[in-house]
Structure 1
Amino acid sequence: MKPMLIAPLALTALLGACANSGANVEPILDGPPNARYESDLAACRALARSQSQLDHETMAAAALGAGAGGVLGAIDEDGDALGGAVIGALAGAATGVTGASEKRAEIVLNCLRGRGHAIVG
């Protein structure tokens, strides 16, 4: 498979594997859940899932990773710039997706707190 096809396919697989990550956080309650908890949790998770993981921060991380990987690949005697750029872009995108996943988890927790649930983590 050509290197130009590998990067988009790998990035798509990475994003697909992390599609619901963060939004599926299991909050820790301080006390028993009330009657509204399950419906509020579902609504907060839906809100978190609506936040795109392929945001500007993820794209910027992928671009920076591609640039750094391309430079390092070109400098290395046995490496090549394109291969380094592909690896760097994937590493940068993975970092961006991880940040987006953490943001989604924080959205769920803050949403539940905003709805009056005693969330400790």
Structure 2
Amino acid sequence: MRLAKTISAIALAGVTAACATTGANYQPVIDGAVGPNYSNDLAQCQALASQQGAFDSNTAATAATGAAVVGGSTAVFNNKGTNVRDAALVGAAAGVAAGALQQQSNKETIVRNCMRQRGYNVVG
């Protein structure tokens, strides 16, 4: 059982690391013709987005909330100490994953807004 937890933690860390630049690599859909500076503008906007970390400032709170909700509900419905601990860890992991997904979305928004400010008609 201990090995399964270690493998799960390593897998979560790997997935989170893989998502670190995913949102920054976003290529928005542009309506209309693009000029000769498009590639340079896109690269600069993506670089701006990649300066953001893999997690936002709310990730710790999301992880704590996930741990509390899942751990608390497990304590109510299946009152065993090890189950509560394990459930709290799963809840915290879910909170961290949710924070990473939110940060990916934030990076995509940064790229879209940056391209709009450079005069592109971004539609998605």
CA deviation vs aligned residue, 1:93-117 (integer Å, no higher than 9, x gap):
1111111111100000000111112
1:21-60 equivalent positions in 2, closer than 5 A = 21-60=22-61
Structure 2 SS opposite 1:56: coil
CA deviation vs aligned residue, 1:9-68 (integer Å, no higher than 9, x gap):
344223112112222222111112101110110111111111112222111111110111
Unpaired runs of 5+ residues, structure 1, are none
TM-score normalised according to structure 1 size:
0.86
- Whether the aligned pair in 2 keeps the contact of 1:66 and 1:87 (CA below 8 Å) is yes
**For 2:7 and 2:68, how far apart are their aligned partners in 1?**
17
**For 1:55 and 1:5, how far apart are their aligned partners in 2?**
25
1:91 aligns with 2:94: yes
- Whether the aligned pair in 2 keeps the contact of 1:7 and 1:86 (CA below 8 Å) is no
- Whether the aligned pair in 2 keeps the contact of 1:20 and 1:49 (CA below 8 Å) is yes
- Whether the aligned pair in 1 keeps the contact of 2:71 and 2:91 (CA below 8 Å) is yes
TM-score normalised according to structure 2 size:
0.84
What is the aligned residue count? 121
- Whether the aligned pair in 1 keeps the contact of 2:16 and 2:54 (CA below 8 Å) is yes
Per the alignment, do residues 67 and 98 of structure 1 end up closer, same or farther by CA in structure 2, a change over 3 Å counting?
same
Per the alignment, do residues 3 and 58 of structure 1 end up closer, same or farther by CA in structure 2, a change over 3 Å counting?
farther
- Superposition misfits of 4+ residues, deviation over 4 angstroms: 2-8
Unpaired runs of 5+ residues, structure 2, are none
Structure 2 SS opposite 1:73: helix
The residue that corresponds to 1:116 in the other structure is 119
